[in-house]
Amino acid sequence: MDEYPVLSIQGTGRLDLLREQCADAVLWLPQEGLMQETINGVEVLAEPGTALLFRPGDVMHGLSADLVRGVSILIPPHQLSQLQLASPLLREGLAQQQLISAAHDLVAAAAMGKPDASCAAERFADALAQDLRPPDLQDKRERVTATRRRSLVVEACIWMQERLAERFSVVELSEALDVSVRTVQNSFQTELGCSPMAELKRLRLRQLRTQLLDPELDSLSISALMNQAGLLACGVTAADYERWCGELPRRTRRRLWHRR
């Protein structure tokens, strides 16, 4: 597409990239694998379901997993002149989720050569024009429902994080929060773009990665660490981890050994 060129990018073998963003801004949409980025001194973890916004002049240092696959959308810098962001990592809040959704629609339209690709570009431009800061940093007054929704998601994530090794359902989660299942599901979909159980799985995979890189847990098997993170110790979990992280659990553990 002429206005927003779309580039599909895939890298294999652990990449260590030091670079500076040049003329255009870039929205990076990870599709598979993790990238630990330091952007102007701020560390962020780019994973599937999130987006990273690089502006001209940004200095980036990225460390990747074995496999990283995603899409970059080039954005004219003048479209970001009024944009304020607390972090280059986009995921939280309705406006950021709308931008991520519009970006994926733009990528799909460009890949399929759809005749309505110009409409997708317009929706993407409209999403870019929103205030993308988290709601609590925006100047305008929020609706009470939006404030409660965001607070509910934060509370739910804390509740789940404290019980990663336990087995529970979305019904039990909603009962603990004293709200309906539909309220929990709608709140997560609006704020994070996923279901509560999908977010729980992401939290557990993150916990597994943290444990695999912890030298104090080196004596424990990968199966034991999976169980501690609330995941089933099986090949399906290893495959889920590989899709999310871009490498198998044993490969992540080798990073710990190579540090010694």
End-to-end CA distance of the chain: 47
Q: In one letter, which amino acid is 47?
A: E
What's residue 141's pLDDT? 47
Cβ atoms within 10 Å of 26's Cβ, excluding its own: 19
Cα distances (angstroms) measured from residue 37 to each of 5, 87, 164: 23, 12, 26
What's residue 113's pLDDT? 75
With CA atoms as reference, report the closest residue to 49 among 202, 155, 160, 158. 202
What's residue 212's pLDDT? 96
Are the C-beta atoms of 210 and 28 separated by less than 8 Å? no
Sign of CA dihedral 206, 209, 213, 217: positive
Count helices and strands in the chain by DSSP H and E runs:
9, 9
Q: How far apart are CA 103 and CA 90, in angstroms?
A: 12
Helices assigned H by DSSP within the chain: 94-112, 117-128, 144-161, 170-177, 181-192, 196-212, 222-228, 235-245, 249-258
76: which strand partners?
none
What's residue 134's pLDDT? 66
Q: Is 143 exposed, middle or buried (0-12, 13-18, 19+ CB in 10 A)?
A: exposed
Stated pTM of the model: 0.87
What's residue 258's pLDDT? 55
Average pLDDT for runs of 10 along the chain of length 260: 86 87 93 93 93 94 91 92 83 92 93 78 92 64 71 96 97 97 95 96 97 94 97 96 95 71
Q: How far apart are CA 192 and CA 186, in angstroms?
A: 10
Cβ atoms within 10 Å of 11's Cβ, excluding its own: 18
